[in-house]
Amino acid sequence: MLNKNVVIAHRGASAYAPEHTFASYDLSHFDMAADYIELDVHMTLDGEVIVMHDETIDRTGLSHGTIKEMTLDEIKQVRIGKWFNDKYPELAKDYYLEQTVPTLREVLKRYGQANYYIETKAPDIYPGMEDKLTGILDEFQLLTEVRMKNYQTVIQSFSLESLIKMSQLKPGITLLLLCKKGMLRGMTDEDLMKIQMFVYAVGPNYKDLDGELIERMHHLGFLVFPYTLNNEEDMERLINEGIDGAFTNNPDLLRKQFRIDNGEIFE
| Whole-angstrom distance, CA of residue 209 vs CA of residue 236 | 13
Q: Residue 224: name the closest of 243, 238, 205 by CA.
A: 243
| Whole-angstrom distance, CA of residue 135 vs CA of residue 131 | 6
Question: Which residue type does 173 have?
Answer: I
Helix (H), strand (E), coil (C) string for 1-13: CCCCCEEEECCCC
Q: Residue 118: name the closest of 76, 162, 55 by CA.
A: 162
- B/e letters for 208-229, b = 16+ CB within 10 Å, e = fewer, are ebeeebbeebeeeebbbbbbbb
Q: Is 24 within 8 Å of 18 (Cβ atoms)?
A: yes
How far from chain centre, in Å, is Cα 196? 20
| Whole-angstrom distance, CA of residue 38 vs CA of residue 53 | 11
Residue 216, classed as helix, strand or coil, is: helix
Residue 239, classed as helix, strand or coil, is: helix
Residues that are catalytic: 10, 53
Q: What is the DSSP letter of 69?
A: G
